[in-house]
Structure 1
């Protein structure tokens, strides 16, 4: 399907180039190739949806574990604990395999409630002002 769509694209390009202004004698092949490609792409999208996408469910526990062990969380903590502490946390998490939240609590950098608030998905996915700037 992909090769045929690519071939149709080449056909359309060549036919458009070969035409004479508004008197393009190649318009029928342009239209045919375009509509054929649209039909193929529609069928491919439908097939992908029904055979690959429908029925997929998230493994919530695995996703939570991946987020909890992501070193990228230090980015969200940076405004609260400072760049140096965040950098040290990232390095230690990478070396030890420990999750960021455990290291923060072990070091007493934030309380459990502060950490929970900062690392809530809603807080991580919405823009906000830097707390150090009063926001």
Structure 2
């Protein structure tokens, strides 16, 4: 591409650079805010329930689960998980949940997993 072609297309070049920059910043923010370490916790029943308004304006029960969770290295951490409107639960006694824990923002995500998906050192007996 010649200098003349770049001069005529400077706005496109600036827009592409801005688009790439915003994309990189968005991915970085998502990793910083929602990323973290995975912990695995066996549910022993909910500790309490609280009202949650789901998007259609209906109030349902959300649940709080507390317990000791382990990461893939076997390190223990006491965690508290509150269900959200997208996945109210409840989880049943004995189920295993994978919790994403961010040191700055706490629990950012959770989901039910099978025993086969738990790393060996994180297994809860």
Q: What range describes the TM-score normalised by the shorter chain of this pair?
A: under 0.3
What is the TM-score with the length of structure 2 in the denominator? 0.26
The structure that has the greater radius of gyration is 1
